[in-house]
Amino acid sequence: MKYLHKKILKRNLLLVPVIIFFLMQGCTSSKKIGISIEQNGKLIRPLKGTVTLDKKEFNILVNFPSPMGLLVNASFNDKVLKLASEGRGLATLSQFKDFSVIAEEMLNPEKMIYVSNEGSNYWFYESGEENKFNRAEVKSGNYKCTRIIKNFYDLDAALNMEVINVNTPIYLVFLEKNGAENIKMKRTYLKIKWKK
């Protein structure tokens, strides 16, 4: 009988680390990246996945729960956004592979977003000097990052355009990325259209 109790106790003790691991996974998975659009100091709420903006500078706000990054496909074509909205697999698309990540400067000095049908921007926050945002504020373990958008650089047409000169909608698809190959399927997508 004593042997049986030891065996049960030993088996239950082995389960403790497994239970703790799954509890921790549940806690960390509840932390989400938050994405919002701001213009003229006001948050612009999406309506059915679309935000309508004045044709002038705006901000993309990203809240990270820890230092991390996300892939951003910005395009004048809605193909990737449609796939995202249908729940299709995106990690296998060429737009989200490492070889198609667009090289950008740290701290976004040009206040731009690169637009491409074939590639994605990689926006991340590692530290005050190592990030792809114009402003970053760390408060209570939350990383609030702001990317100012005054220009769009269309890589497919090799053309830089100020926001005021853009007439077509912009389609944005955001995918979380942790590590070199680990693309989570958490996605956010937005269409930006312009007021007339």
| Contact assessment for residue 149 and residue 64, using Cβ atoms and an 8 Å cutoff | no
Instruction: Report the pLDDT value the prediction gives residue 31, as an integer from 0 to 100.
Output: 72
More confident position, 176 or 74: 74
Residues 91 and 179 in one domain: yes
Inform me whether the pLDDT recorded for 19 exceeds 50.
Answer: no
Instruction: Report the pLDDT value the prediction gives residue 185, as an integer from 0 to 100.
Output: 61
User: What's the structural domain count of the chain?
Assistant: 2
Give bridge partners of residue 51 from the DSSP assignment.
192
* C-alpha count within 13 angstroms, C-beta hemisphere, residue 53: 30
Residues 12 and 72 in one domain: no
Domain residue limits at 9? 1-30
Residue 1's pLDDT band (boundaries 50, 70, 90)?
A: low
Inform me whether the pLDDT recorded for 118 exceeds 50.
Answer: yes
Residues 8 and 77 in one domain: no
